[in-house]
Structure 1
């Protein structure tokens, strides 16, 4: 190989090496604070969707367990009734044979002859049929309830498997978040927001004077400001979005499911112009919910790594507005 060819080959290899090294060097560059924030927000939004799906499944499992318990409570007495009915029929047959004159020869010797025997046989047969109909009715009801309970158990097993899948997905996302939070800690000195100390007296002064149950819910939400986002949390030490609205209205004596989409199905839908403190505002495809406190502001549990805060209601696209009934 000539010296010229060797030189060209060396330059080509050197250029290729530079091309390979340059992207790798750029890829290893530390992300900017803005890039870190965007990545954390994307992962937090993804985690919130998983958490809300987990919350919805938990609510459905809770409802199905209650339905299964109600069915079991009905099955027990029904079984006892059917068993008693069978015992009554057996006793009726035994008693009739022993004391009712069913032996044909003995019955024919009694006044009335065969006609009386037929009457007595007809009466006993009628009573027996009535008892048997009762048994069949009880058995059919029992079978129906057992079938329904079997169906519910199948649903519960499937939902339990889904809950495990969601929990595993949440853990994967949290592992990703943990890596991002470490980068954020290196950039800002702290992975998550510091809890905000708010004495009760300050909370009472900050909360607007609102009467009734809505006022109770709003004051509760003010008291949660500064507490951390906790997935599936409904207080008192941490909350996710639907857990905060649930807890606020639970303090006011109203019950809401622990899921934004299910809360949307439980409230009365209203227009933006009808908003008043205590109402709920739903966001981005029913993946987030906040408590309206008036003057265009809400209190919500925003996302993982952040704390409950008060902010403007238009922080993300709004799906709709609801009033707790």
Structure 2
């Protein structure tokens, strides 16, 4: 009996051990290819949204840099005018001192004295109209210069904050990319798709007239090139980078951001689509270039290459025509 009890205890212990070990083994089971594919699609969609936010910030910084250059171009002449006006006022002070005595000069040079002196010019009749305009111009130039500098300082501050945000966004994207590429290695054995050989013949673009034809031909020329976040060619693209580059080849300027592109195109219906139009997807998180036959050319996601595919590969937000 004792040997039987020993055997039963041993069986019970083995059964308990198996029960304890089994969940642990299941928790560490390798994900299936289908699981990996779903995770890759989810991560790609999230990453594309982050990249498009980065692109939007980059476009805003470009706008700020243009505003800074414009303000600085206006400030330069204002500073020269202010210096000239200051010299004119100094000359007026000298004239006032010589012709009107120390009290007049002192009134001119004191804070607020120029305005007080101008009020008395009608009775004193010591300065000409031209000198009055010089003093008034000095005050106006000073005010304009201060206003322009205040706007410039505010713009520069926004730009500095955006630059810091941009750097943080870049670090996050690079971290997310590393995880995504690792998922692709597990699922497909490689982090990225193999780029098309340079010697391979490219698919011929359809004959499309005008600017739209130039955009379509450019998109066909980009087939097989790798997705590169925040890039607009010629060696790689993200989705809005490809559409902006294609239309840049046609002489049209589009911002490098899907949501901004949606804001500048003419919105059209599906029945109006023609090659060169833009197809916008899933909450303006993705965009492709329509090339006819219910197909678009787009830069899909990190790890993949530019390709032509059916336009209904994901929910469509709307359609746009470049003006």
Q: Which residue of structure 1 lines up, in the alignment, with residue 161 of structure 2? A: 158
Q: Which residue of structure 2 lines up, in the alignment, with residue 28 of structure 1? A: 28
Partner SS for 1:77 = helix
Structure 1 residue 168 displacement after superposition: 1.7
> 1 CA distance for matches of 2:198 and 2:207?
18
Instruction: Label 1:86 to 1:25 Cα distance change in 2 as closer, same or farther (>3 A).
Output: same
Structure 1 residue 182 displacement after superposition: 2.3
The correspondence of residues 204-243 of structure 1 with structure 2, limited to 5 A, is 206-243=204-241
Instruction: Label 1:210 to 1:75 Cα distance change in 2 as closer, same or farther (>3 A).
Output: same
> 2 CA distance for matches of 1:89 and 1:237?
60
Number of positions where the alignment pairs a residue of Structure 1 with one of Structure 2: 304
The correspondence of residues 8-27 of structure 1 with structure 2, limited to 5 A, is 14-27=14-27
Cα pair 1:200 1:223 within 8 Å, conserved: no
Cα pair 1:192 1:305 within 8 Å, conserved: yes
Alignment counterpart, residue 168 of structure 1, candidates 146, 166, 171: 171
Instruction: Label 1:119 to 1:47 Cα distance change in 2 as closer, same or farther (>3 A).
Output: closer
Structure 1 residue 20 displacement after superposition: 3.1
> 2 CA distance for matches of 1:278 and 1:144?
45
Determine whether 1:258 maps to 2:262: no
String of CA shifts for 1:55-88, please: whole Å, max 9, x gaps.
1100001110110111111112111101110111
TM-score (normalised: structure 2) = 0.86
Alignment counterpart, residue 314 of structure 1, candidates 295, 305, 312: 312
Alignment gaps of 5+ in structure 2? 103-120
**After alignment, is 265-274 or 121-130 more displaced?**
121-130
Instruction: Label 1:165 to 1:202 Cα distance change in 2 as closer, same or farther (>3 A).
Output: closer
TM-score (normalised: structure 1) = 0.85
Alignment counterpart, residue 290 of structure 1, candidates 288, 291, 302: 288
Cα pair 2:182 2:191 within 8 Å, conserved: no
Cα pair 1:198 1:226 within 8 Å, conserved: no
Cα pair 1:43 1:177 within 8 Å, conserved: yes
Q: Which residue of structure 2 lines up, in the alignment, with residue 108 of structure 1? A: none
> 1 CA distance for matches of 2:289 and 2:199?
21
